């Protein structure tokens, strides 16, 4: 018997996919096996479709290497890659399919990296004193419109120049644009802030170069992030988009939903401004967040 007889048959272009999928047959975890098998089948199909040259494949590996090398404690370039390829939006949409009447979910994004400071209703999350003050009033409601008292409402947003506090620690104090509020007995929350600006996602890494090479802009429309959570309910992670903002029709991360666009109305009312602790005139947005009841568990 020669060494050649030990090899049952050649692995070819036609058989390599099944060979790799079969190699996972001994997986202890069936979900891992299913995931890896699907990833291999789809990647092989893409390779068959485009037939990359060796140089193109090396460039792809180099791109992924540089993406990994760009990650650190405060920068997650792989998440950004997932965002601009629409994978984050797809995973979010699959995991939070529309529930009648509930606020639609959208991507978390990379800037929820620090805990929001606990704040009281009526506080300002603008620690800098921006040009365009804004009052946000809202409620957390059930899908049948009942108020949810004691719900937590975590808020974070970019400033009016389009930067989060963590991006410009020299200009913005930590916690600027962030607040953790609790709804009152009628499910209400309210705070003052500035109208956020649209902004570009980070473009100084491999993902930015990918956008440039494909003629895509890096911008996100103006928005405020929210997570509403309460005992017995499914937490909702979402944004409220500022009506009229540029890029509502071409968000770089595919996260806009029409149901999440809100007017930030101009208000000229000195008494109301004084009550809310902002300069007059100001803008006002009403943000109701509707949460779905959690399925009861065996534990009750």
Token representation of residue 203? 């473009």
Q: Which of residues 73-92 bind ligand BEZ (CB under 6 A)?
A: 80, 83
The span of 107-115, 120-128, 145-153, 277-285 binding ligand BEZ (CB under 6 A) equals 107-115
**Closer to ligand BEZ at the Cβ: 177 or 187?**
177
**Closer to Fe ion at the Cβ: 109 or 187?**
109
Residue 284 makes contact with ligand BEZ by CB under 6 A: no
Q: Name the minimum Å distance from CB 215 to ligand BEZ.
A: 19
Q: Which of residues 202-231 bind ligand BEZ (CB under 6 A)?
A: 220
Secondary element (H or E) of residue 17: helix 16-23
**Closer to ligand BEZ at the Cβ: 103 or 276?**
103
Give the burial string for 75-112 (b: 16+ CB within 10 Å, else e). Answer: ebbebbbbbbeeebbeebbeebeebeebbbbbbbbbbe
Q: Mutual orientation of helices 77-84 and 54-69 as an angle, nearest 10°?
A: 120
**Closer to Fe ion at the Cβ: 149 or 205?**
205
- From the centroid of its chain, how far is CA 12? 42
| Residue 253 three-state SS | coil
- Choose the one of Fe ion, ligand BEZ, none that binds residue 211, judging by a C-beta under 5 to 8 angstroms depending on kind: none
Number of amino acids touching ligand BEZ (CB under 6 A) = 9
**Closer to ligand BEZ at the Cβ: 102 or 107?**
107
x/- map, 109-138, ligand BEZ, by CB under 6 A: xxx---------------------------
Which residues of this protein are in contact with Fe ion, per CB under 5 A? 109
Distant-in-sequence, close-in-space partners of 54: CB < 8 Å, separation ≥ 6 = none
Residue 201 makes contact with ligand BEZ by CB under 6 A: yes
The span of 31-39, 106-114, 227-235, 290-298 binding ligand BEZ (CB under 6 A) equals 106-114
Q: Name the minimum Å distance from CB 157 to ligand BEZ.
A: 9
- Choose the one of Fe ion, ligand BEZ, none that binds residue 110, judging by a C-beta under 5 to 8 angstroms depending on kind: ligand BEZ
Q: Name the minimum Å distance from CB 94 to ligand BEZ.
A: 17
Distant-in-sequence, close-in-space partners of 73: CB < 8 Å, separation ≥ 6 = none
- From the centroid of its chain, how far is CA 190? 23
- Which of 81, 89, 107, 224: binder of ligand BEZ (CB under 6 A)? 107
Give the burial string for 130-148 (b: 16+ CB within 10 Å, else e). Answer: bebbbbbbbbbbbeeeebb
Using the 8-state DSSP alphabet, how is residue 168 labeled?
Answer: -
Q: Name the minimum Å distance from CB 251 to Fe ion.
A: 10
Nearest to 218 by CA among 210, 229, 228, 226: 210
- Is-contact 155 125, C-beta < 8 A? yes
The residues binding ligand BEZ (CB under 6 A) are 80, 83, 107, 109-111, 201, 220, 253
């Amino acid at each position: 018997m020669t060494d050649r007889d030990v090899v049952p048959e050649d692995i070819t272009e036609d058989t390599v996919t099944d060979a790799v999928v079969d190699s996972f047959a001994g997986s202890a975890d069936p979900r891992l096996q299913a995931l890896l098998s699907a990833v291999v089948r789809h990647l092989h199909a893409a390779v068959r479709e485009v037939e990359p040259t060796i140089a193109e494949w090396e460039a792809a590996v180099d791109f992924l290497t540089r993406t990994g090398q760009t990650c650190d404690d405060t920068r997650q370039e792989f998440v950004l890659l997932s965002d601009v390829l629409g994978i984050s939006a797809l995973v979010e949409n699959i995991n939070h399919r529309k529930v009648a009447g509930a606020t639609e979910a959208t991507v978390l994004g990379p800037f929820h990296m620090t805990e929001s400071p606990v704040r009281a209703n009526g506080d300002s999350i603008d620690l800098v004193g921006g040009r365009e003050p804004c009052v946000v009033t809202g409620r957390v409601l059930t899908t049948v419109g009942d108020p949810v008292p004691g719900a937590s409402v975590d808020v974070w947003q970019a400033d009016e120049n389009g930067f989060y506090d963590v991006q410009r620690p020299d200009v913005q104090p930590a916690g600027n644009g962030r607040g953790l509020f609790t709804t009152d007995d009628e499910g209400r929350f309210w705070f003052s802030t500035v109208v956020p600006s649209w902004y570009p996602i980070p473009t100084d890494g491999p993902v930015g170069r990918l956008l440039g090479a494909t003629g895509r802009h890096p911008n996100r429309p103006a928005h405020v992030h929210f997570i509403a959570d309460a005992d017995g309910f499914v937490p909702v992670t979402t944004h409220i988009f500022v009506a009229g903002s540029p890029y509502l029709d071409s968000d770089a991360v595919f996260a806009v939903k029409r149901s999440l666009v809100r007017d930030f109305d101009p208000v000229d009312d000195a008494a109301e401004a004084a009550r809310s602790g902002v300069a007059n005139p100001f803008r006002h947005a009403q943000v109701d967040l509707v949460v779905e009841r959690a399925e009861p568990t065996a534990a009750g």
